[in-house]
Amino acid sequence: MRVAVIGAGVIGLSTALALRQRGCDVGVFESGAAGRGSSWAGAGILFPLLPWHYDAVVNDWCLRGIRLQAGWQQGLHEWSGIDPEYRVTGLRVIGAYGSGPAAWLRRHVQTFERDGADLLIPEVAQVRNPRLVDALISSCRAAGVALHGALGSVAPLVQADAATGVTWAAGHWQSDAVVMCAGAWSGQIEGVGPVPVFPVRGQMLALRAPELPPSMVYDDGRYLVPRRDGVVLLGSTLEQVGFDAGTTASAAAELLGWAQRIHPALGPDRVIRHWAGLRPGSRLNHPLVGRHATLAGLWLNTGHFRYGLTMAPACAEAIAESICQTAGAGR
């Protein structure tokens, strides 16, 4: 079975790999450079932030993803030779008041501790985004996925209410199924009707601070993620500014102000990089994973909003399984 995947972020690449592992002939079609969208820009926390505020749809996808992460990351490391730096460093949630957080954690995680108004969740893991996307790209190549980049906008080829491949300015590719994994741009693709996904900008800072303890910290909408080599990420903003992936001095000042309240040493002199990414926003953070409502042969795996890295292996498995079962049923 031939499958075309539109978009080479974590979602497109993990989908392609899962399809290839089921014996499909897979091509990934990317408008720009593979793995440089939201997947590159994010923080790599593999856990929903304040899961007690989300509904079961979000938490189920996240928990399914979390259960697969350790084995998936190890496989990517082995296939690619690139270490995605998957590490269980724990998460401290500052000021988790009331009984709701503890009640949720008691049901869904193995251990947690209360420390005054804070909660410590030792089993929360992180991954280093640029390394994860590089490991995915190499693993896809090693598995025989054909990666095509710098194509400009790619869209499904639609004939008689069915997607029969993909098309772009300079070419097309016929396939039995098409999976749309175009992240924040999924609502912009022509010929498929409305797809309710929209860009939500998140700005991040990287600082050099080798003396910080290894656990991640969340407080009041902001977080801090210490990496293995002494780099610390601060994030993030949630901004509805369309497709503007620029950075602002005010966001940097606000993130640094927050960080200095947690660790006074994290001053502006420590900053080594400031960037922004566009999350694939969706209503209630519900990802769209499954068949397109009207076009046969078109599948969606998009709209993962704040948790695409966390959900990726679960959504990839689910969509690859559905596509292959449908093909089997049609034989």
| Nearest Cα to Cα of residue 68 among 310, 300, 285, 323 | 310
Rounded CA separation 264/212 (Å): 11
Q: Which of residues 268-297 bind ligand FAD (CB under 6 A)?
A: 277, 279-280
Q: Which of residues 78-137 bind ligand FAD (CB under 6 A)?
A: none
- Contact segment (CB under 6 A) with ligand FAD among 7-15, 137-145, 239-247, 249-257 equals 7-15
Distance between terminal CA atoms of the chain? 11
Say whether residue 226 binds ligand FAD (CB under 6 A).
Answer: no
The residue within the footprint of ligand FAD, chosen from 37, 101, 156, 187 (CB under 6 A), is 37
Rounded CA separation 123/92 (Å): 11
Rounded CA separation 180/48 (Å): 24
Binding mask 135-154 for ligand FAD (x = CB under 6 A): ------------------xx
Say whether residue 51 binds ligand FAD (CB under 6 A).
Answer: no
Say whether residue 156 binds ligand FAD (CB under 6 A).
Answer: no
Rounded CA separation 206/139 (Å): 27
Name the token pair of 291: 């068949």
- Contact segment (CB under 6 A) with ligand FAD among 76-84, 87-95, 183-191, 250-258 equals 183-191
Nearest distance from C-beta of residue 327 to ligand FAD, angstroms: 23
| Pick 44 or 297: Cβ nearer ligand FAD | 44
HEC per residue, 264-327 = CCCCHHHEEEEEEEEEEECHHHCCEEEECCCCECEEEEECCHHHHHHHHHHHHHHHHHHHHHHH
Binding footprint of ligand FAD on the chain (CB under 6 A): 6-12, 29-32, 36-39, 41-45, 153-154, 181-185, 189, 202, 204, 235-236, 277, 279-280, 302, 304-310
